[in-house]
Amino acid sequence: MSTLQVSVYRYNPENDDAPWMQDFQIDTQGRDLMVLNVLQMIKEQDSSLVYRASCREGVCGSDGMNMNGKNGLSCVTPLSEVVKNNRLVLRPLPGLPVIRDLIIDMSLFYKQYERIQPYLQNDERPPSIERLQSPEDRDKLDGLYECILCACCSTSCPSFWWNPDKFVGPAGLLQAYRFLADSRDTHTQERLSELDDPFSVFRCRGIMNCVNVCPKGLNPTRAIGKIREMLVRNTA
């Protein structure tokens, strides 16, 4: 039985007043395809379906979506990982406004990212060669710099759903810690003062959905814990 039942979230603001689910039968011929392949096959049946995708190898972060209830990248998620009872439900990432079909408005997500000042800030005179960093200090950036900003984590976080304009969210906070932990950055105090309010960092309840869904295997919960530790040491 290689016919997969796929149910896709559809919404076109020009035609529809409300989102609806469209069902497709897809013949996978027994192959363990990626969800992105299935979407391409669906597009052959109904070309009005739109979704974001680019690198098709899990490095650009464009094709994040909710597959059978769990966020992930469609290009590196094989059917064997998500399909249950021969059924696949594709929905856009939760919590952010839907522009059309599986495409969401990432503005709030990017705003929170900009807010934490995701660039190195060093007031010292730039050296004639690159700023040096010991291997131990460089190791502290592992697990932080690899983020591809796919938004799977933040859109799986209930605290982000309820307060996307106030809580920075797992992705933003992971990057905030990436710069707090960078030995070449000298603006640690300013970064911490920016984050020291009840909303930006402290809405994290340790739900850990973010760790569960990150396609790159990163751990925002641990990074947020480290930011909290820095804030407490700073203040108390």
145 sits near other proteins (criterion: CB under 8 A): no
In this structure, how many other beta carbons lie within 10 angstroms of the beta carbon of residue 32? Answer: 11
Q: Is 156 left (phi over 0), alpha (psi -120 to 50) or beta?
A: alpha
Q: Output phi, psi for 3, to 5 deg.
A: -90, 115
126 sits near other proteins (criterion: CB under 8 A): no
Tell me whether residue 107 or residue 186 sits nearer to other proteins (CB atom). 107
Member of 88, 150, 171, 201 binding other proteins (CB under 8 A): 201
Using the 8-state DSSP alphabet, how is residue 174 labeled?
H
Tell me whether residue 134 or residue 205 sits nearer to other proteins (CB atom). 205
CA distance 197 to 167: 10
Minimum CB distance to other proteins, residue 65 (Å): 10
Tell me whether residue 30 or residue 165 sits nearer to other proteins (CB atom). 165
Size of the site for other proteins (CB under 8 A): 73
Beta bridge partners of 8: 22, 90
Q: Output phi, psi for 213, to 5 deg.
A: -105, -10
190 sits near other proteins (criterion: CB under 8 A): no
Name the residue type at position 61.
Answer: G
Tell me whether residue 15 or residue 85 sits nearer to other proteins (CB atom). 15
Minimum CB distance to other proteins, residue 64 (Å): 12
Minimum CB distance to other proteins, residue 30 (Å): 26
Name the residue type at position 93.
Answer: L
| CA end-to-end span of the chain | 62
202 sits near other proteins (criterion: CB under 8 A): yes
CA distance 103 to 62: 10
125 sits near other proteins (criterion: CB under 8 A): no
Minimum CB distance to other proteins, residue 29 (Å): 28
* Residue window 84-123: x/- pattern of binding to other proteins, with contact defined by CB under 8 A: -----x-xxxxxxxxx----xx-xx--x--xx-x-x----
CA distance 189 to 92: 38
CA distance 103 to 138: 36
138 sits near other proteins (criterion: CB under 8 A): no
> Rg of the Cα trace of the chain?
20
Name the maximum alpha-carbon separation found in the chain. Answer: 67
36 sits near other proteins (criterion: CB under 8 A): no
46 sits near other proteins (criterion: CB under 8 A): no
178 sits near other proteins (criterion: CB under 8 A): no
77 sits near other proteins (criterion: CB under 8 A): no
Member of 30, 126, 135, 198 binding other proteins (CB under 8 A): 198
